[in-house]
């Protein structure tokens, strides 16, 4: 039996986070550098796996082995923790196996927080770096790669290297956004910022149509840190593209907040009632969106929210993904260049309504250039559309992929399940540099994923 392999962990079915991609894998949990290195010497192929929060096939490997690092105990999660004021640019070293749900409370108790977080608390540090995740403040703060100071990576050869923007910069840049294909991220040094408040002042603006939605998104993005627009995918005619634009900024104080709140630690309390899947029918989607928009129109424009409500809106629901069972869902997240935003977003929204069941959730955010070799970020707007996995949806997604490629945009690999190798190369011209790095550090392709097989990277 392999070192680090739990006797109870045999081959089993593993799914992507959205429940539409499946693989037969062996999941092996290991502790530390030596155990991981020993495993990589054995027959592969291998894929490092974090919290499994990639929507499609990026974190699964059919007939392969998934290597999951065991998180350290509580007192070993962080090292060299600064105080909020003792350094001009404070940073912390953290195990790649640690989740946001574990990390944020520890930082908050020190009066610190991360500048960039995705919307999922179960994502690990390693997984966030592999996908170069972003949040609602990408325009102002960038992605997780922008706040990464250094990485410790176990290469497929078994060599452990410390890399940053000056030491082994090619590996550093390739690992950020590299979808786990350059090595096992063991540890990361991340920049942190003082936690100035645990509440945010939020503006909630109901818009009448797509033109107004994009204009308000631009306006709030110029003054607020965290900004996103929810779009009603069912609106027609003069109300096409109506939505709700939300912008929020932490209310700065003259002191650092040391928060002992346990909201990051607690399991999510709300649950969707049984039989709630009716809400994903065309009528249900239309009713939900109409009610949500009406409440925003009559509600207060200025509101005070807890910070986690703005950053992690879906974490309030313990089992929200169950409404998509048993078939799961797809999310198509695309980046549209600045010059093509309005027209292309309109076309994508029109495409999303061609199937028998329209998109269930649509969100638009502003973006800037990403930090890694295959990072998603670029100047423009990102459009996310969720679809229940029904007949005909993949055909719609393929059309969306082609439309995005035609205007020089790209699709987020951490959400993707439909791209082709040809479209990938049109969207990510830097893929040849990434392949050159892969050929140098992993010529035998010990590391692979179902995504890398599909996209031939």
Q: How far is CA 266 from CA 2, 122, 211, 321, in A?
A: 35, 12, 40, 18
User: What pLDDT, on the 0 to 100 scale, is given for residue 59?
Assistant: 98
The pLDDT of residue 86: 54
Task: Count CB neighbours of 270 within 10 A.
Answer: 10
pLDDT score of 402: 98
Whether residues 367 and 392 fall in one domain = yes
Look over the chain and give the mean of its residue pLDDT values, rounded to a whole number: 90
Return the structure tokens found at 419. Answer: 């791209």
| Predicted local distance difference test score (pLDDT) of residue 1 | 39
Same domain, 24 and 117: no
Give pLDDT, residue 327: 93
Q: Helix (H, G, I), strand (E, B), or coil: what is residue 380?
A: strand
Region of residue 420 (phi > 0: left; psi between -120 and 50: alpha; otherwise: beta): beta
Q: What is the pLDDT of residue 277?
A: 62
Give 115's contacts (C-beta < 8 A, 6+ positions apart). 137, 141, 147, 191, 192, 193
pTM summary value:
0.92
32 and 111 inside one domain: no
Residues 206 and 65 in one domain: no
Residue 402 lies in a domain: yes
| Last residue of one domain, picked from the residues 161, 195, 229 | 195
Domain carrying residue 411: 199-251+276-425
Q: What is the pLDDT of residues 18-65, one digit of tens each?
A: 999 999 999 999 988 999 999 888 888 999 999 999 999 999 999 999
State the Cα–Cα distance between residues 218 and 342, nearest whole angstrom.
12
Q: What is the pLDDT of residue 148?
A: 98
Asked if residue 453 belongs to a domain, the reply is: no
Residues 301 and 401 in one domain: yes
Residue 369 is part of a domain; what is its CATH number? 3.30.70.2520
Q: Evaluate whether residue 456 is within a structural domain.
A: no
One DSSP character per residue, 191-213 reads E-EE---SEEEEEEEEESSHHHH
426 half-sphere exposure, CB direction, 13 A CA radius: 15
Domain count, the chain: 3
Q: Of 160, 114, 155, which Cα lies nearest the Cα of 133?
A: 114
Which residues are registered as beta bridge partners of 126?
none
90 and 225 together in one domain: no
Check residue 319 and give its pLDDT: 78
Within-domain flag for 451: no
What are the tens digits of pLDDT across the range 303-315? 899 888 899 988 8
What is the model's pLDDT at position 7? 39
51 with 80, same domain: the answer is no
Q: Is residue 226 one of the residues assigned to a domain?
A: yes
Structure tokens at 5: 């392999």
Final residue of a domain: which of 27, 48, 69?
69
- 131/107 same-domain check: yes
Give me the average pLDDT of each 10-residue run along the chain (457 residues): 48 96 95 89 92 98 96 71 62 94 90 94 97 96 97 97 98 98 97 89 97 98 96 95 95 65 51 62 87 91 89 83 91 98 97 82 95 92 96 94 98 98 97 98 97 98
Beta strand 302-306 pairing with 78-79: unpaired
245 plus 342 within the same structural domain: yes
Question: In this predicted structure, what is the pLDDT of residue 372?
Answer: 84
Asked if residue 146 is part of any domain, the answer here is yes
363 and 298, same structural domain? yes
């Amino acid at each position: 039996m392999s070192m680090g392999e739990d006797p109870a962990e045999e081959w089993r079915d593993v799914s992507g986070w959205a429940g539409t991609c499946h693989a037969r894998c062996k999941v092996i949990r290991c502790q530390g550098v030596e155990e991981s290195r020993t495993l990589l010497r054995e027959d592969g192929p291998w894929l490092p796996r974090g919290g499994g929060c990639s929507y499609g096939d990026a974190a699964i490997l059919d007939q392969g082995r998934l290597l999951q690092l065991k998180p350290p105990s509580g007192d070993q999660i962080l090292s060299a923790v600064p105080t909020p004021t003792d350094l001009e640019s404070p940073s912390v070293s953290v195990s790649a196996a640690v989740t946001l749900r574990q990390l944020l409370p520890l930082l908050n108790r020190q009066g610190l927080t991360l500048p960039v977080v995705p919307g999922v608390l179960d994502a690990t540090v390693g997984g966030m770096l592999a996908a170069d995740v972003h949040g609602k403040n990408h325009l102002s703060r960038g992605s997780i790669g922008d706040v990464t100071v250094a990485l410790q990576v176990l290469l497929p050869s078994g060599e452990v290297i410390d890399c940053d923007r000056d030491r082994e910069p090619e590996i550093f840049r390739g690992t950020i956004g590299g979808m786990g294909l350059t090595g096992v991220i063991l540890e990361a040094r991340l920049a942190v910022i003082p936690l100035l408040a645990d509440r945010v002042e939020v503006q909630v603006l109901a818009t009448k149509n797509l033109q107004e939605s994009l204009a308000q998104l631009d306006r709030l993005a110029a003054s607020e840190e965290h900004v996103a627009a929810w779009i009603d995918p069912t609106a027609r005619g003069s109300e096409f593209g109506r939505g709700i634009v939300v912008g929020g900024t932490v209310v700065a104080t003259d002191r650092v907040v040391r928060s002992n709140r346990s909201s990051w630690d607690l399991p999510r309390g709300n649950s969707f009632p049984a039989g709630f899947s009716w809400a994903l029918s065309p009528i249900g989607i239309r009713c939900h969106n109409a009610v949500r928009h009406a409440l925003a129109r009559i509600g207060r424009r200025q509101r005070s929210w807890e910070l986690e409500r703005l950053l992690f809106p879906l974490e309030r629901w313990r089992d929200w993904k169950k409404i998509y069972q048993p078939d799961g869902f797809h999310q198509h997240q695309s980046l549209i260049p600045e010059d093509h935003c309005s027209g292309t977003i309109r076309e994508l929204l029109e495409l999303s309504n061609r199937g028998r069941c329209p998109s269930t959730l649509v969100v638009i955010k502003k973006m800037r250039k990403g930090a890694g070799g295959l990072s998603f970020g670029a100047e423009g707007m990102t459009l996310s559309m969720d679809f229940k996995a029904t007949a005909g949806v993949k055909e719609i997604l393929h059309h969306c992929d082609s439309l995005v490629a035609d205007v020089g945009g790209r699709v987020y690999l951490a959400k993707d399940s439909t791209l082709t190798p040809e479209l990938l190369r049109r969207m990510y011209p830097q893929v040849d540099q990434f392949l050159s790095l892969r050929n140098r550090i992993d010529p035998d392709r010990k590391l692979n994923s179902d995504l890398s097989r599909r996209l031939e990277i």
